[in-house]
Chain A
Amino acid sequence: METKIKVKAGRCFPDPNNPRRITPSDVPGEIQIVFSRDEELLHFKWVPRSGRTVEGEEFDLIVFPGDASFVRYDPDGIQLDGRILVLKFLSSDQRHFFWFQKLNNGLEPGLFTSQDTLDMRKIDRLIQTGGDLEGLTDEQLLADVTQMELDDDASPSAGESSRRGGADGGRASDFEPPTTIPSGNKSQSQSEMLEALIRGISVPQGAAAAGGSSQQRGFLTLPSLLQPSAISTVLELKPLRQKLLSNLPPALTADVKSEYEEKELLRRVLHSPQFSQATAMLTVALREGGLRGVADSLGVKLDLANAGAQGGVEIFVDSVKKEAEKEGDDDGDTAMS
């Protein structure tokens, strides 16, 4: 077992008196992302801190790379006075809520410190990629989402919140405003503030936690689309091989002459850890707001016609399909060599 990150956080549970709400538990705890070498699986865990054990609050979920995301819970028009985060899945409507417990340096209670944002992004990145943070600096983690943010006015359907989990947008009308605790009184002691903070956090219950009746949805990732079985046929196409080779470092392609050598090099690249990492990272980028930036840089015109229920990867693949149909067979891509 290898613990990838630990972040101080508490859980949130459905309010027994009001099923429409969930309320924070005041048990000090932490989120741990743990990679199990034996199973080769990543666990999203929550454990109480300082040796406390709490019946029924243990939380240990295996996350499949690409399926789960961990994001700030930030419903439009609702002011939260706690730092709420939600663990969601592309494959189901299940949601689990947490709140950050690290002191927030006197900021307004609902505001994220840059450390909070960093912690959130790290957890998100770890569960998206199956445990890979390497090669990324904190600045990169803090920057890459905001930098590549989609223009919100371009298309509401491609916007961050709806793309992340459709569910939130659709349930907006069900919201009951959470009870907010006045936070103007600066003379409060820290423990009082913490208490107020805890009481004040309240998020709509909606599809929280339960999971049983969840609607299950499939999702796309680039590695799953670009599997060896799908690729091997297209490597027979000479024009495509040449396009691929022209997108590799010249130092690798300089001596490649025969068809056999071309295929050997491409196979080697396709099986390299560097290629795997790149497809996983690009999947995350497409999902996490990098769609527009990636598409622009490649000259791919985004097809947002059916984008409503689609994730970033699916929008991208459909757009590439439109691009491919436009190019047609003019360039002879379909001719076997």
Chain B
Amino acid sequence: MAESGGWHTIESDAGVFTYLIESLGVQGVQFEELIALEADYLKQLSPVHGVIFLFKYQMGKNRSEAPIDGAHDMDAPNHMFFANQTIQNACATQAILSVLLNADKEQVDIGDSLREFKEFTDGFPSDLRGEALSNSDLIRDVHNSFSRSSPFVDEGTRQATEEDDLYHFIAYTPVNGVLYEIDGLQPAPISHGKCSPDEFCDKVIPVIHRRVERYPPGEIRFNLMAVVQDLRVKAVEIGDEDMLAREEQKRKEWEIENELRRHNFVGFIHELLKGVVKEKVKAGTYDDWIKQTKDANLQKAIAARKGEPVD
């Protein structure tokens, strides 16, 4: 896994994920963050291809435990895409692909590159599929292009260690009439029973509820990302112009955020600081400004140390 080059961490954000899959050639699919764990709410977004469940947990607590809920389906990898996770930072992309590569061909156009990747790894055992994913230059380069710009450092790979808090991504999606939980740290997909695409929204929500309840309150932070049809396409289909305008605006916001994520701000900060400094020098308040800022920081630090509210 070391020879696969670096995978940077990327932000878990609907805009990042949507542009990531579009850069991989997927069309007509987007992500929506779920702000409530309710089936009716999820249904409003239908067609829903799957749900990505992201959570933060303490390493060592639940690694490769036998499933408490559901059952391993050891035969499933022969009939669907399932890859073992080999690189921690790739896990978001891996979960996303677990939904897309298992989606109905008629419903989701995954594009030539991913189709090729899927065919190439067809028949591979799960660990080799994970390796193939880690070693895919295309997938890694696209993934990395969404990582935060950090001008002071070289690229590198982050290895999980015992005491790290980790983010982990699990995909839930219906495949071949079964609701699967796809977790690259597990030996096989976990079956949660029969489930048609139409039943997915109703059936996945209770499963995720049970998953969340396994952790003591406050021990887990999570969020949910639905993999849905491009809402602009849906707006056109149902003829809702307001919705179309809203979704177009949302795309614009995502593009701006993605540009800023990749941006190296050092030059900008330098010019801004210089502008402010010039202003202060011209007004004759430079020394006061420095002193006041220092004092204010000191007061805040003292207040913080005493446990008083800052600001």
Q: Which range contains the number of B residues in contact with the other chain?
A: 35 or more
Whether the Cβ atoms of B297 and A66 lie closer than 8 Å is yes
> Is there a chain A Cβ closer than 8 Å to B290's Cβ?
yes
Whether the Cβ atoms of B281 and A321 lie closer than 8 Å is yes
Whether the Cβ atoms of A219 and B289 lie closer than 8 Å is no
> Is there a chain A Cβ closer than 8 Å to B275's Cβ?
yes
> Is there a chain A Cβ closer than 8 Å to B255's Cβ?
yes
Q: How far is the CB of A304 from chain B (nearest CB, A)?
A: 17
Whether the Cβ atoms of B295 and A230 lie closer than 8 Å is no
Whether the Cβ atoms of B8 and A269 lie closer than 8 Å is no
Q: How far is the CB of B92 from chain A (nearest CB, A)?
A: 12
B contact patch SS = helix
> Is there a chain B Cβ closer than 8 Å to A53's Cβ?
no
> Is there a chain B Cβ closer than 8 Å to A244's Cβ?
yes
> Is there a chain B Cβ closer than 8 Å to A324's Cβ?
yes
CA distance A279 to B296 in the complex (A): 18
Whether the Cβ atoms of B156 and A251 lie closer than 8 Å is no
Number of A-B residue pairs having CB atoms within 8 Å of each other in the complex: 213
One of B274, B300, B309 near A323 (C-beta < 8 A)? B274
* Segment of A103-111, A195-203, A220-228 engaged in the interface with chain B: A220-228
Whether the Cβ atoms of B298 and A219 lie closer than 8 Å is yes
Interface string of A121-140 (1 = CB under 8 A from B): 00000000000001111111
Q: How far is the CB of B267 from chain A (nearest CB, A)?
A: 4
Q: With A136-B153, A140-B154 in contact, do A317 and B273 touch (Cβ < 8 Å)?
A: yes
Q: With A115-B161, A139-B157 in contact, do A293 and B302 touch (Cβ < 8 Å)?
A: no
> Is there a chain B Cβ closer than 8 Å to A167's Cβ?
no
> Is there a chain B Cβ closer than 8 Å to A305's Cβ?
no
* Segment of A1-9, A19-27, A73-81, A180-188 engaged in the interface with chain B: A1-9
A-B contact pairs, 27 of them (CB 8 A): A6-B163, A62-B306, A62-B307, A63-B304, A63-B305, A64-B301, A135-B147, A136-B153, A137-B89, A137-B158, A139-B153, A139-B157, A144-B153, A216-B298, A218-B294, A224-B297, A226-B269, A226-B272, A226-B273, A244-B272, A244-B275, A248-B268, A252-B256, A277-B148, A278-B268, A298-B267, A317-B277
